[in-house]
Amino acid sequence: MNTLFSRSHRSLWQFFFLLVVGAIIAGCSSDPTSTAGVGTGGTGSVAKVDVTDTPGSNFAHVYVTVAGVAFHADAHAPFLNGSSGIANGWQLFSLPTPKTIDLVQLSNGVTYSDINGGSALFDGLNLPAGTYTQIRIFLVSTEDAYVGTEPGLIYNNDVQLNGDASHYPLRVPSSIEGIKIVPEYPVTKINGNDVNVTLDFKLGDDVVEVSPNGSTEFILKPRLGYFDMGRVGAVKGKVNFSNLSTSAIEVKAEQIGSDPNYRVVRRTAAINKTTGKFNLYPLPVFGNATTAVYDILLRGNNIQTAIIKGVKIHSGTTKTTATDLGTITMQSGNEFSAQISSAIHPTGAWLNFYQTIAGDAVPYEIRYRHLNPYTGRFGAAIGLSTGPIQVATFSPGSSPVFSTDASNQGTFSMVADAADLYTRGAPITNISGTSGQNVLLTMLSAHYPQLSSGASPGTINCVFDMALLGTGRGPGMGMGNTSTGNPPKGQLFITSGGVIIDSIGSVNNDPSVGAALHSGGGISHPVAVTNLPSNVSDAVYGVYALGWGNGILIGGNSLGIDLSAVGSTTVTIKMK
């Protein structure tokens, strides 16, 4: 489906592998088929990249099929396409064959190497010495024919729910663009020293249920985390509560981040639903420090939020030697629910809900949730506690003793946030409700994520090329049936660094995409996506398009749409 391979119908992983082999030949490398990946340069030391996951409560399996990984010294460098990526300083590594990973297995500090005999997902990479400030991980397109390693799957990126044997697609918009991660501290590769990094998928938050054509699907809105495994520690503990199995209790490690006005969540864990045990690992210890201090927040459905302040961790500790919080007794409570009253843009946004405690003005993140990127609203209302917060100060060797803080009982603030091309919107304060109440939040334009400093509103004009219609080889696509009719419905997604920026189309009541597809596309039926950040360095986009409504799925995308120095441009999308 990807326009980069439309002539040859190669899948993403085949293209990526050939791309990297080409780079090796150009660089005269003598090792084009190393055990876990291929790359350029010989340094006498190696890098490895692993993955872990923050859990989700209702998933039996969430499979992703990984094709490659890339490093760059410039945090702002776009990945325009394969050949220019090599020319513009990307260090690219592909797997000899793509690997399918079940992210559900990688919760509570488990990494891929833990279930793979000690071998990381990418092991023995010949990464040249240098300082790298950007990483991208590449997943195979969901709309390509299945090429993964897990028998019985339908999709390259595939979801199964508890108690449900069905396979649901996990859409990954602009997968060839790669998912961008910018570490807070750079990856420094020195000759003679190995590098060991782990990327954190956030399954419980970033896999969003959608139903664009009346049937269940999922879409990935990635906010991947990053850990330098040479500078991490751990926290463990046990929750005591009457209902461990259905309360969806989660544990968050929070610190004040680069914005001193809010705390950020560094890592989330779920409890074992039988024993109540949990493990927060890995937790970053930044820079040259040997220790770090976290506040640990616990919450769940109809449970009073609890905070344990001042938990010190030590670099080098593991899940076994972690700082032990002891037994944490949680109190039952009640909730109200919140939903936004109408759709907002950009639909790639997410909403953070905060509370403060007495004597501490910096808010804690209690919950955050992505908007459904099709609709610009929550897929379902979010539950918020009406109760007080239980607060304790960490004392090594003892279980926490809580006191009740009712200073902001049941009262929240909410802030909308989006990708790096935006800044946060103005907060909505004093959000509250009674037990069982459904609260609608009215968001004005000032509350939406705002264009970043120096950016101006830009436009991408999208033109559909329908010449290859029906030739898509992925599940539900035409499989070569070129006589299929033009679909009456569709959706356009704008991405940057593999992250959804905004979306317009049939699902959010914009008829222009469906009308253009149904009319056969072409320059006489362009679709404009407006109010995108432009005239700033990171304003390089991908477009991902889907069409449906006549019994098959069609799709297409385009990369390297550069608005960094212009306010508008036109792009052609080859639909298949």
CA of 100: how far to CAs of 38, 50, 153, 261, in Å?
Answer: 18, 13, 10, 40
Locate 100 and state its tokens.
Answer: 């399918």
User: Long-range CB contacts (< 8 A, 24+ apart) of 152-159?
Assistant: 153/63, 153/100, 154/475, 155/63, 155/474, 155/475, 156/64, 156/65, 156/98, 156/100, 157/63, 157/64, 157/65, 157/220, 158/61, 158/62, 158/63, 159/59, 159/61, 159/62, 159/63, 159/207, 159/218
AA letter at 324: D
Percentage of the chain with pLDDT > 70? 91
Domain range annotation of the chain: 3-228, 232-451, 456-574
Cα–Cα distance for residue pair 65/82, rounded to 1 Å: 19
Nearest to 179 by CA among 280, 68, 73: 68
| Residue-level pLDDT at 90 | 93
Query: Which residues lie below 8 Å from residue 242, measured CB to CB, with a gap of 6+?
Result: 332
Nearest to 411 by CA among 391, 427, 388: 388
Which stretches of the chain score pLDDT less than 70?
A: 1-45, 81-87
3-state secondary structure of 152: coil
CA of 412: how far to CAs of 7, 352, 405, 408, 431, in Å?
Answer: 53, 10, 14, 8, 5
| Residue-level pLDDT at 16 | 53
Cα–Cα distance for residue pair 488/384, rounded to 1 Å: 39
Locate 226 and state its tokens.
Answer: 């990053």
Nearest to 503 by CA among 452, 563, 545: 545
CA of 376: how far to CAs of 210, 380, 460, 528, in Å?
Answer: 11, 12, 19, 18
- Its pTM stands at 0.92
Confirm if 313 and 294 have CB atoms less than 8 A apart. yes
- Mind giving me the DSSP string for 240-306? E-S--SSS--EEEEEEE-SSTTSEEEEEEEE--TTT-EEEEEEEE--TT-SEEEEEEEEE-TTB--E
Locate 93 and state its tokens.
Answer: 């590594």
Q: pLDDT tens digits, residue range 232-267?
A: 999 999 999 999 988 999 999 999 998 999 999 999
Nearest to 147 by CA among 12, 324, 26: 12
